[in-house]
Amino acid sequence: MIERGLGKSREKNKYIYGYIVAAVFSFLLGWQANYLDVFDENKAVDDEPVLSDQTENVDLELFWTVWKEIEDKYVHEEAIDSQKMVYGAIAGMVNSLEDPYTVFMTPDESKEFNASLDGKLEGIGAELTVEHKNLVIVSPLRQSPAEKAGLLAGDIIYKIDDNLASEMTLIDAIMKIRGPKGTPVTLTVVRENLDIPFEVTIVRDSITIESVTMEKLDGDIVYLSVNQFNDTTNQEFGKAISELVLNEPKGLIVDLRYNGGGYLDIAVELLSYLLPADTKAVALRERGKEDEIMYTNGNTKLLNVPLVVIVNESSASASEILAGAVQDHKRGIILGAMSFGKGTVQEVESFTDGSSIRLTIAKWLTPEGRDIDKIGLTPDIVVEINEKDIQEKKDPQKEAAVKYLKNLQ
């Protein structure tokens, strides 16, 4: 087994999760790219590729024959853009894998994707996935234009303005929906419990995502909402933990709802506040390699504080790593709805022209060896939220978490 601890110095992993999620290119719908999904610094690739035997048996002459046919005969000569054709060919090759998390990005798309990791976005504030060729809302961000417009997790986007979403790639759909602050976009939405689609026009806005927010509740219970796993999350979470330790809380709620993921190592660092040092956090399984085990680093400060982790169908990737470890080690209880089920790991490779590929390079398993990909985590206590609860601004999941902790006092 390859072992990895994070105790001495935090060095970003190459591993990336992208929100969100079992068919998600975790782009937040904005000028950002969710997200998702666990990212790291991009690695420039300049080495000459070494082709496998399988690749050497592929006849590439057909590719160049078609290229030449286009150059010589296509009637709209002015429309021929050689660089665009190259990017299109690469994207087609990547798309042939039929993996929604493996994506080729042009220089412009890569730039916007990198900006998303810094929480910079303008758009409607939602995460998308593709399920059975449908464009699906994974989750609207809290207080985002998407949430305020009433979009819900599971909504299918049928049209973007007058364009059929089913005829677009995920990236194309994102590019259509995102846009500058103050501009409108009209979505035609299909919702499970409604007989006919409905239209909603959303005005794009600047969206600021607070990684961690804290609230003190009755009964000396502290509520921490973790909205993503980015560069600032560990610092914000650690600051909140240090503050609440001084108050000797009788219970802690960590809310991972609508959190599609982020950096892998940040999930492990947050677990380090909740689990004993050198506790198995997650296992990574790459092709042809031994499992790599990641352990907590010894920052434990809340080992004896009763813990509830809230998840829902939009909790994915790094969120599921944290919740899965808490559940496997019986450190606390998981409450809410079945999580999304994203059990793969992505890595971003950057190329010299600014383009990049986001490639699935591993699966991850919980400490007990569970593979939750396309399955999700089953909560210890199942509490559902219905549309009426949302409309009336009720939160039975949060209420149930508080009730559970109070009953332990």
Residue 33 lies in a domain: no
Residue 30 lies in a domain: no
Q: Look at residues 207, 232, 250 and tell me which one is the last residue of a structural domain.
A: 207
Statement to judge: residues 197 and 279 lie in one domain: no
Q: Is the pLDDT of residue 279 over 50?
A: yes
pLDDT digits (tens, 9 = 90+) for 134-178: 999 887 887 889 989 999 888 999 999 999 999 987 778 888 998
Q: Look at residues 155, 187, 207 and tell me which one is the last residue of a structural domain.
A: 207
Pairing mode, if any, of strands 356-365 and 344-351? Answer: antiparallel
Crossing angle of helices 233-246 and 264-274, rounded to 10° = 10
Statement to judge: residues 250 and 314 lie in one domain: yes
pLDDT score, position 238? 92
Residue 65 lies in a domain: no
Q: Is the pLDDT of residue 328 over 90?
A: yes
Residue identified by tokens 């149930």 is 400
Residues making up the chain, counted from first to last: 409
Residue 299 lies in a domain: yes
Statement to judge: residues 189 and 243 lie in one domain: no
**pLDDT > 70 in the chain, percent:** 85
Report which of residues 39 and 322 the model is more confident about.
322
Statement to judge: residues 243 and 136 lie in one domain: no
Residue 388: which pLDDT band, with cuts at 50, 70 and 90?
confident
Taking the C-alpha atoms of residue 249 and residue 220, their distance in angstroms, rounded to an integer, is 5
Q: Which of 15, 27, 7 is nearest to 100 (CA)?
A: 27
Q: Is the pLDDT of residue 315 over 80?
A: yes
Taking the C-alpha atoms of residue 22 and residue 14, their distance in angstroms, rounded to an integer, is 20
Statement to judge: residues 271 and 197 lie in one domain: no
Q: Which of 258, 260, 247 is nearest to 217 (CA)?
A: 247
Statement to judge: residues 162 and 240 lie in one domain: no
Three-state SS at 210 = coil
pLDDT digits (tens, 9 = 90+) for 45-66: 445 555 566 666 788 899 999 9
Q: What is the mean pLDDT of residues 261-282?
A: 94
Tell me what the pLDDT averaged over the chain comes to. 84
pLDDT score, position 131? 80
pLDDT score, position 51? 56
Q: Which of 407, 236, 233 is nearest to 335 (CA)?
A: 407
CB 292 within 8 A of CB 284: yes
Q: Please say if 317 is a catalytic residue.
A: yes
CB 308 within 8 A of CB 332: yes
Taking the C-alpha atoms of residue 116 and residue 260, their distance in angstroms, rounded to an integer, is 13
Q: Please say if 206 is a catalytic residue.
A: no
CB 262 within 8 A of CB 13: no
Taking the C-alpha atoms of residue 342 and residue 345, their distance in angstroms, rounded to an integer, is 9
Q: Is the pLDDT of residue 188 over 90?
A: yes
Count other Cβ atoms within 10 Å, centred on residue 232.
Answer: 16
DSSP assignment of 249-316, as one string? -SEEEEE-TT---BBHHHHHHHHHHHS-TT-EEEEEEETTSPPEEEE--S----TTS-EEEEE-TT--
| Catalytic-labelled residue, pool 176, 280, 342, 398 | 342
Residue 5 lies in a domain: no
Statement to judge: residues 386 and 289 lie in one domain: yes
Q: What is the mean pLDDT of residues 189-198?
A: 92
Residue 264 lies in a domain: yes
Highest-scoring range by mean pLDDT, 46-60, 111-125, 302-316 = 302-316
Statement to judge: residues 190 and 262 lie in one domain: no
3-state class percentages of the chain: helix first, strand second, coil last, to nearest 5:
30, 30, 45
Q: Look at residues 207, 235, 259 and tell me which one is the last residue of a structural domain.
A: 207
Report which of residues 193 and 185 the model is more confident about.
185
Residue 135 in tokens: 């464009």
Residue 238 lies in a domain: yes
pLDDT score, position 11? 37
pLDDT digits (tens, 9 = 90+) for 362-384: 999 999 999 999 999 999 999 99
Statement to judge: residues 315 and 201 lie in one domain: no
Statement to judge: residues 236 and 377 lie in one domain: yes
Question: Cα torsion for 404, 406, 408, 409, to the nearest 10°?
Answer: 170
Residue 111 lies in a domain: no
Q: Is the pLDDT of residue 324 over 50?
A: yes
Please report, for the domain that includes residue 136, its CATH number: 2.30.42.10
Taking the C-alpha atoms of residue 40 and residue 26, their distance in angstroms, rounded to an integer, is 14
Three-state SS at 148 = helix
Tally of domains within the chain: 2
Statement to judge: residues 317 and 373 lie in one domain: yes
Please report, for the domain that includes residue 388, its CATH number: 3.90.226.10
Q: What is the mean pLDDT of residues 382-389?
A: 89
Q: Is the pLDDT of residue 40 over 70?
A: no
This prediction's pTM: 0.80
Statement to judge: residues 376 and 276 lie in one domain: yes
Domain that holds residue 289: 212-342+365-408
pLDDT digits (tens, 9 = 90+) for 220-270: 999 999 988 988 999 999 999 988 888 889 999 999 998 888 889 999 999
What are the residues facing 282 on neighbouring strands? 294
| Catalytic-labelled residue, pool 26, 139, 317, 339 | 317
